[in-house]
């Protein structure tokens, strides 16, 4: 199974086509943004280190909330 996670671009290096993406709760990772046109503050869907789609803020936050809910259910077992 493959999964893509939404996050917010907080730093962008257009020359290197790289960004730092904030996934919430202090989790930040590098992502390649060569496949999408982005700016700081955009939400993107990241899979295998590549931003593959730009999302609107509401959609990204709803998806992140679902991930948090699934994790909390898993931790409750």
Name, in order, each residue with C-beta under 8 angstroms of 66's C-beta and a sequence gap of 6 or more.
none
Residue of 35, 40, 70, 15 lying closest to 7 (CA atoms): 40
Q: What is the pLDDT of residues 8-57, one digit of tens each?
A: 999 999 999 999 999 988 899 999 999 999 999 999 999 999 999 999 99
pTM (2 d.p.): 0.87
Instruction: Estimate to the nearest angstrom the gap between the alpha carbon of 73 and the chain centroid.
Output: 21
Q: Which class does domain 5-75 fall in?
A: mainly beta
Instruction: Domain ranges for the chain, please list them.
Output: 5-75
- Give pLDDT, residue 53: 97
Q: Look at residues 45, 42, 36, 37 and name the one whose alpha carbon lies nearest to residue 63.
A: 45
Question: How is residue 23 written in tokens?
Answer: 């996934």
């Amino acid at each position: 199974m493959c999964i893509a996670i939404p996050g917010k671009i907080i730093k962008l290096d257009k020359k290197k086509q790289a960004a730092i993406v904030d996934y919430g709760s202090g989790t930040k990772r590098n992502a390649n943004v060569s496949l999408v046109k982005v700016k700081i503050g955009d939400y993107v869907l990241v899979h295998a280190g590549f931003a593959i789609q730009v999302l609107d803020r509401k959609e990204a936050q709803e998806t992140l909330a679902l991930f948090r809910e699934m994790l909390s259910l898993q931790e409750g077992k």
